[in-house]
Chains A and B, each alone.
Chain A
Amino acid sequence: MSVSNSPAARPFLPPYLLERVANGGSPRLRECARHTLLVDSRFRARAGAVTLPPGSQRRGEPARYVHSAEQQQVLPGKLVRREGQGDSGDPAIDEAYHGLGATYRLFWEVYRRHSLDDQGMALLATVHYGKEYENAFWDGKQMVFGDGDGELFNRFTIAADIIAHELTHGVIQHEAALEYAYQAGALNESLSDVFGSLVKQRQREQRVEEADWLIGEGLFTERVAGRALRSMAEPGTAYDDPLLGSDPQPGHMDDLVETREDNGGVHINSGIPNRAFHLAAMALGGHAWERAGWVWYDTLVDQRLARNSDFATFAGLTRDNAARRFGASSEVVEAVREAWRTVGVLP
């Protein structure tokens, strides 16, 4: 087990996870742990504790702020790059800055949305969060990116779609505010993947057949047997690795996963609406952000989209919004309807 230091006690521990400090039973570690416990609350990032800096008064222009936590778990950390400043030479800082810009441009240039709240809200990101921190998240006011552990994960700013994914959580928060659990939570996750992918595709000027439809490509190190975190085209095929396990995403309602883990499977069942978007976009061809993207955006900001909406409700609204924007007898309506049928959400 865990607290013993005998070789026989470690067969299940992958090398990268081996505790780097002394034996758990040592007085030094216990003292260390007690000390850490005491000072915990002073150093940990608190949810939404940051006061946002000024946003942008000019529609069409973002207000970006990139901070560095300098390997601490503090938010927002030290301001290292703000709007208009040149590259810093630090990849994480510059990737975050440009990723924020690419996301702002998709929402503004395509959907005429002025930042997350459509009121010019400051785009705030913190990089170098924590030590070997293997995650990125949206805390309710800003994005946070770890550097990864270098064993399984690279830095989390490396993929533009991940930056856009986190920002889209901010857009959702200001619109439908979908609950982060079960099907509503999976819709929340899926919408973030959809617009994350659209940002990447638009950056690369890709048509639907040229896009890889992967989320988080580049995040894994070479040691991982996997292409990305998720595949929108083929949910459940993104990775199959001895340490990570195999990609658990379903692509059809018949395989919907019922679980209490992962907030009720929000990152698992999002595979179903992700695939529906992919199917609709592929059927329509061209640039995914132009027609399929518009339908999904119209639905994201639709007042009828309730906080606890399920897949079927969302699917019905996309069909309705496709008809409103492109006409009831348009090929867009048919493509959207067929996509949801194929994944088993609509009859």
Chain B
Amino acid sequence: MTQDPVGEPPALGPGRVLRLSRQGGLAHFPGLARPRCVHCARCSEAQLSELQSLLLALSGIPDREAGNDRRRFCVALVDEGGEVLWSQVVAEESAPQALLAWWRRAEIAPLKKKTDGQA
């Protein structure tokens, strides 16, 4: 269920936002699955460099592993208009810990009033 477009990630830069979301698990919690945002404009050069390396490292990581109720990380790079420039889904057990650390401290998008399962 990898979303398009895929391929090599575009360069990070001002105006672009990295959206990170954790999905799956034993239940679907719309609140916990909400995307979290890293605004490139607010990152230092070193941080952007680290993020760019992380994105490059995601290619080749399986989007899922065997079994059920596992969690997955969805990573999407969007432009100012909200268009998805690049996206990738990776199995949580295979995702770099550094990516999980970014997800933990990223800003959470506002909650929709009533979920339709598409948080």
Interface residues of A in 22-52 (CB under 8 A from B): 24-25, 29-30, 33-34, 36-37, 40, 44-48
B107 adjacent to A13 (CB under 8 Å): yes
CB-defined contacts of B106 to chain A, threshold 8 Å: 1-2
B117 adjacent to A268 (CB under 8 Å): yes
Question: CB within 8 A of B50: which of A30, A137, A181, A229?
Answer: A30
B31 adjacent to A137 (CB under 8 Å): no
B32 adjacent to A135 (CB under 8 Å): no
Interface membership of chain B positions 14-56, coded 1 if the CB is closer than 8 angstroms to chain A and 0 otherwise: 0000000001111111111110111100111011001000100
Interface membership of chain B positions 95-119, coded 1 if the CB is closer than 8 angstroms to chain A and 0 otherwise: 0111001101111111100111111
B26 adjacent to A216 (CB under 8 Å): yes
B32 adjacent to A243 (CB under 8 Å): yes
**Which segment, of A203-211, A259-267, A316-324, faces chain B?**
A259-267
CB-defined contacts of A241 to chain B, threshold 8 Å: 31
* Residue A183 at the chain B interface, CB threshold 8 Å: no
A257 adjacent to B116 (CB under 8 Å): yes
Question: CB within 8 A of B69: which of A29, A48, A136?
Answer: A136
A245 adjacent to B97 (CB under 8 Å): no
A245 adjacent to B101 (CB under 8 Å): no
Interface membership of chain B positions 75-107, coded 1 if the CB is closer than 8 angstroms to chain A and 0 otherwise: 000000000000000010110111001101111
A265 adjacent to B43 (CB under 8 Å): no
* Residue A197 at the chain B interface, CB threshold 8 Å: no
| A197 to B: closest C-beta gap in Å | 14
A24 adjacent to B105 (CB under 8 Å): yes
- In Å, the complex CA distance between A180 and B68 comes to 7
- In Å, the complex CA distance between A242 and B110 comes to 11
- In Å, the complex CA distance between A263 and B91 comes to 12
B117 adjacent to A265 (CB under 8 Å): yes
- In Å, the complex CA distance between A260 and B89 comes to 12
B70 adjacent to A33 (CB under 8 Å): no
Interface membership of chain A positions 156-169, coded 1 if the CB is closer than 8 angstroms to chain B and 0 otherwise: 10000010011001
Contact A192/B117 with A13-B108, A33-B98, A244-B32 known, Cβ cut-off 8 Å: no
Question: CB within 8 A of B98: which of A13, A37, A165, A243?
Answer: A37
Q: Which residue of A lies closest to B49 (CB)?
A: A30
CB-defined contacts of B118 to chain A, threshold 8 Å: 257, 259, 261
Contact A259/B117 with A137-B70, A138-B68, A229-B27 known, Cβ cut-off 8 Å: yes
CB-defined contacts of B36 to chain A, threshold 8 Å: 2
A260 adjacent to B38 (CB under 8 Å): no
Most buried by A among B24, B28, B43, B108: B28
A263 adjacent to B1 (CB under 8 Å): yes
* Residue B6 at the chain A interface, CB threshold 8 Å: no
- In Å, the complex CA distance between A324 and B8 comes to 55
* Residue A139 at the chain B interface, CB threshold 8 Å: yes
Question: CB within 8 A of A47: which of B25, B28, B65?
Answer: B65
B57 adjacent to A30 (CB under 8 Å): no
* Residue A88 at the chain B interface, CB threshold 8 Å: no
Question: CB within 8 A of B23: which of A46, A138, A262?
Answer: A262
Q: Which residue of A lies closest to B101 (CB)?
A: A33
CB-defined contacts of B98 to chain A, threshold 8 Å: 33-34, 36-37
B68 adjacent to A192 (CB under 8 Å): yes
A36 adjacent to B31 (CB under 8 Å): no
CB-defined contacts of A138 to chain B, threshold 8 Å: 67-69
Q: Which residue of A lies closest to B29 (CB)?
A: A244
Nearest 10 Cβ contacts at the A-B interface: A245-B30, A245-B31, A140-B66, A33-B98, A47-B65, A19-B105, A257-B117, A36-B97, A137-B69, A2-B106
